[in-house]
Amino acid sequence: MSLDGYTAGPQQSKKNPLGIGGTRLHEWALPLAAWRAPHGLEGGEVNESTPVVEESQANIGATIMGRNMFGGHPGPWDAAEPWNGWWGADPPFHHPVFVLTHHPRPPLALEGGTTFTFVTDGITAALDLARRAAGGQDVSLAGGASTAQQYLGAGLVDDMEIHLVPTLLGAGERLFDGVRDLGGLQLVRTVAAPNVTHLKFVRR
Amino acid sequence: MSLDGYTAGPQQSKKNPLGIGGTRLHEWALPLAAWRAPHGLEGGEVNESTPVVEESQANIGATIMGRNMFGGHPGPWDAAEPWNGWWGADPPFHHPVFVLTHHPRPPLALEGGTTFTFVTDGITAALDLARRAAGGQDVSLAGGASTAQQYLGAGLVDDMEIHLVPTLLGAGERLFDGVRDLGGLQLVRTVAAPNVTHLKFVRR
C-alpha cells in the first residue's frame, strides 16, 4: 500500500496490470530470495523483509483472489482465447486458488500444483471452499482491493499484513475505501525494512 | 494520520475540532511525559515515542499553522468576540507562531512566549517571517492538512514525521489529497511504539 492508501495505480490494463505507478509498491519484494524462490528464480537478497515474506508464505493451503487480480478482460470468459492469469504455465501459488467472479468457468489446472477454481456464489462460499481445500492450513487473501474490502467488511479477516511503501500514487484503488473499521484487527508488529514498513494486524 | 490517510475526521467544529474520531489520532501522545510537559502538566509515561516527540520539539524557533488549525469561526475575525486559539492563556508553543489566513488581524501575544502573527500574503511570506523569527532554529509546520499540502506541493518541506495510527476514520481531511509526489522526501527512520508507528522522512 502506498502512503496515500492505494494498492494499485490508475488505468489498470493488460499491459499495466498494477496501474500507473503500481509497480513501485512491489519493488521492495522483487530482489528478495524469498520472493524469487516461489517464482522459480535462484539467488536474491536477504534483509529485514525476509522473515515477513517467509511467514506470509508458510502454512498456506489455499488462496482467494478477485477476478480483477486474476486479470484479463472484464465480463464473460472468452473460451476462444482463454485468459489463464498473469503467472504463466507454473504460477507461484502451488496450491488451490479460488477466483471470485460473476461468470462461470470450468476449473483450470496449471503446472506445479496450482489450480484455479472460479466461484460465482460469493465471498462466504469461496472461503468455505478454500478452507476445505486448505485442509487445516491457512487461507491467504491475495487481493485486490475490492476483494479485501469485502472480506474486511464482513469481519472475515483474522490476520492482515500491510506492506507500506513510502511513495504516493495519487489515484487508483484504495485498500480501505468503504471499510468502516478494522473489525478488531490490532497492530501487533511493525518491521522497518528497505523501502517498506511491514505492519502486521491480528484480530483480538 | 490514520491508516486510511486522514489527519482529521469529518464534521470539524468548535466543539469537535478534530472531527468525528479525530481524537483517536492523538491518543498515543496524551499519556507521554514529553507531551504533558510543554502543556504545563507533570508526570506521564516514557516509551518508544518519547525520543520522537522530544526530537520534534527540539530546536524549534517558530511554528506555522493554517487558519483552520488555529480554529474558531470561518471568515473575517470577530473583534467583539475574539478567538484566541484552542490552547488557553498559555499555549504550548512558547515561541512565535504564524497563522495563514485570508483575513488581516493584529498580532496576539499570549503567556509563556507564544505570539500569533496573522499572515495574509501566502505560504512563502509566512515561511520567510517564520525563518527570520526562528533565528537559525528550525521552523515547525504544525498543520492542518491543507497547509501541509500547500508546503509539500511547493517543495518547501525538508523533514516530515508521520505518526501513523492503526485505525480507520473513513472520512475527513486527507493529508496527501492533491499532493502528487513526496518531492524528494525519503523514509529514513521507522519507530514502532504503542498505538502508533512513527515514519520520519528527510529530503535527500
Using the beta-carbon criterion (under 8 Å), do A166 and B181 form an inter-chain contact? Answer: no
Using the beta-carbon criterion (under 8 Å), do B201 and A166 form an inter-chain contact? Answer: yes
Report the chain B residue with the minimal C-alpha distance to residue A170.
B180
Q: What is the pLDDT of residue A60?
A: 97
CA-to-CA dists, residue A19 to A23, A75, A85, B156, B183, angstroms: 8, 19, 16, 29, 21
Question: Per-residue pLDDT tens for A136-167?
Answer: 999 999 989 999 999 999 999 999 999 999 99
Using the beta-carbon criterion (under 8 Å), do A180 and B170 form an inter-chain contact? Answer: yes
Q: What is the pLDDT of residue A15?
A: 86
Chain B closest CA to A150's CA: distance in Å?
15
Question: Per-residue pLDDT tens for B96-147?
Answer: 999 999 999 999 999 999 999 999 999 999 999 999 999 999 999 998 999 9
Report the chain A residue with the minimal C-alpha distance to residue B7.
A4
Percent of chain B with pLDDT over 90: 88
Q: What is the pLDDT of residue B92?
A: 92
pLDDT confidence bin for A2, thresholds 50/70/90: very high
Chain A closest CA to B195's CA: distance in Å?
8
Taking CB atoms and an 8 Å cutoff, what residues of chain B touch A168? 176, 179-182
Using the beta-carbon criterion (under 8 Å), do B192 and A192 form an inter-chain contact? Answer: yes
Mean pLDDT for A10-32 is 93
Contact B196, A187 (CB under 8 A): no
Is the pLDDT confidence value at B75 over 90? no
Q: What is the pLDDT of residue B204?
A: 87
Q: What is the pLDDT of residue B153?
A: 95
Using the beta-carbon criterion (under 8 Å), do B197 and A197 form an inter-chain contact? Answer: yes
Is the pLDDT confidence value at B169 over 90? yes
Alpha helices in B74-194 (DSSP H): 123-134, 145-153
Rounded Cα–Cα distance for residues B30 and B58 (Å): 18
Q: What is the pLDDT of residue B53?
A: 96
Rounded Cα–Cα distance for residues A145 and A153 (Å): 12
Contact B38, B175 (CB under 8 A): no
Task: Give the number of other CB atoms < 10 A from CB of residue B123.
Answer: 19
Report CA A84 to chain centroid distance, whole Å. Answer: 16
pTM attached to this predicted model: 0.92
Taking CB atoms and an 8 Å cutoff, what residues of chain A touch B197? 187, 190, 197, 199
Amino acid, single-letter form, for residue B106: P
Task: Give the number of other CB atoms < 10 A from CB of residue A28.
Answer: 21
* Lowest-pLDDT range of A117-131, B70-84, B162-176: B70-84
CA-to-CA dists, residue A128 to A96, A122, A148, A203, angstroms: 13, 10, 16, 19
Using the beta-carbon criterion (under 8 Å), do B167 and A182 form an inter-chain contact? Answer: yes
Report the chain A residue with the minimal C-alpha distance to residue B181.
A168
Taking CB atoms and an 8 Å cutoff, what residues of chain A touch B162? 3
Taking CB atoms and an 8 Å cutoff, what residues of chain A touch B182? 3, 166-168
Using the beta-carbon criterion (under 8 Å), do B190 and A199 form an inter-chain contact? Answer: no
**How many A-B residue pairs are in contact by the CB < 8 A criterion?**
67
Is the pLDDT confidence value at A71 over 90? no
Taking CB atoms and an 8 Å cutoff, what residues of chain A touch B5? 3-5
Q: Which of B3, B192, B195 lies closest to A176 in CB terms?
A: B3
Strand order in the sheet with A60-66: A108-109, A115-119, A96-100, A60-66, A138-143
Using the beta-carbon criterion (under 8 Å), do A182 and B201 form an inter-chain contact? Answer: no
Residue B10 cell numbers, joined: 469529518
Q: What is the pLDDT of residue A119?
A: 98
pLDDT confidence bin for B14, thresholds 50/70/90: confident
B1, B4, B191, best to mutate vs chain A, most A CBs in 10 Å: B4
Q: ipTM score of the complex?
A: 0.90
Q: For residue A49, which of A143, A139, A166, A163 has the smallest C-alpha distance?
A: A163
pLDDT confidence bin for B9, thresholds 50/70/90: very high
Is the pLDDT confidence value at A36 over 80? yes
Percent of chain A with pLDDT over 70: 100
Mean pLDDT for B19-44 is 95
Please classify residue B50 by burial: count the beta carbons closer than 10 Å to its beta carbon, then call 0-12 exposed, 13-18 middle and 19+ buried.
middle
